[in-house]
Amino acid sequence: MKMHGLGNDFVVLDARADGIDVTPGLACALGDRHRGVGFDQLAVMSTGPRGLHLTFYNADGSLSAACGNATRCIARYVMQETAATSLDLTTDRGVLQAYDAGDGLTAVNMGHPQTDWADVPLAHETDTLSLPIDGAPVATGMGNPHCTFFVADAEAVDLAGFGAAHEHHPLFPERTNVQVAGLIGPDHLRMRVWERGVGITLASGSSSCATAVAAARRGLTGRKVRIDLDGGTLLIDWRDDGVWMTGPSMHVFSGHLTRSFMDAIA
């Protein structure tokens, strides 16, 4: 299936009935926007000990423990499939709760943020609220590492160059997602995203959660914020039980991979 959340797009493989041997090569081939399907992330649905389990791959074939928008899209799909209004699903990030928020919106609890340097993870002990990097960004873990820069004007940043330069910063041994965000009103942020292993994306759920947490920790906003991304708006609410993300989703099409495509990868 092809899905997207605010233009952050995914290929979703349904392996609940039949297992699929997903390799980095398959992920890269599917992610090729010219010779495959194209995506920001690949998500694989499987049946685990606690029910539905999601595994995520970046466009370069690397694994990611979390993908907020894909989780939200798949949760919407499964709730429509089962006529449920809420469900639990598991990821390498842990058990995530989702529910139908009405008006076509889906809410997902992305879990508690990781604010200790070792959990993000960072290469050595340092203050995650003010990293020793030009611009003093904030580091946050949401099952994947994030580096958030607060700037006067997010539109003015050369995100392609800026994101690529910081994704591989030595302080982040697992690389990092990079966000540039600016305050445009009370509890209202404008954010742009560079995703590790992907590049510039129109939206990112985990990046939005990380940026909301960083802004609240800095005292720039409260714990409930609106974030405007290139692809649209997400509502983030950092509650006692985790960081909740609410937004729209879209199931674009369903299909089958051809034998010739699969043979070409082998």
The pLDDT value recorded for residue 104 is 93
Are the folds of 2-110+249-265 and 138-246 the same?
yes
Answer for the pair 64, 195: CB distance below 8 angstroms, yes or no. no
Q: Model confidence at 162, in pLDDT bands (50, 70, 90)?
A: very high
Answer for the pair 3, 73: CB distance below 8 angstroms, yes or no. yes
- Please state, rounded to an integer, the average pLDDT across all residues of the chain: 95
The pLDDT value recorded for residue 240 is 97
The CATH code of the domain at 2-110+249-265 is 3.10.310.10
Residue 227 to residue 212: CA distance in whole angstroms: 8
Q: For 206-240, how does the pLDDT look when each residue is reduced to its tens digit (9 = 90+)?
A: 999 999 999 999 999 999 999 999 999 999 999 99
The CATH code of the domain at 138-246 is 3.10.310.10
Distance from chain centroid for Cα 12: 14
DSSP string, 36-54: S---SEEEEEEEETTEEEE
Prediction pTM value: 0.92
Residue 12 to residue 69: CA distance in whole angstroms: 12
**Burial state string for 69-78 with b = 16 or more CB within 10 A and e = fewer than 16:** bbbbbbbbbb
The pLDDT value recorded for residue 152 is 97
The pLDDT value recorded for residue 184 is 97
**What integer is the mean pLDDT of 170-193?**
97
Q: Is the pLDDT of residue 246 over 90?
A: yes
Q: In the chain, where are the structural domains located?
A: 2-110+249-265, 138-246
Q: For 109-161, how does the pLDDT look when each residue is reduced to its tens digit (9 = 90+)?
A: 999 999 999 999 999 999 999 999 999 999 999 999 999 999 999 999 999 99
3-state secondary structure string across 101-128: EECCEEEEECCCCECCCCCCCCCCCCCC
Q: Is the pLDDT of residue 266 over 80?
A: no
**What integer is the mean pLDDT of 16-39?**
92
Q: For 39-52, how does the pLDDT look when each residue is reduced to its tens digit (9 = 90+)?
A: 999 999 999 888 89
**What integer is the mean pLDDT of 2-26?**
93
The pLDDT value recorded for residue 8 is 93
Residue 147 to residue 4: CA distance in whole angstroms: 24
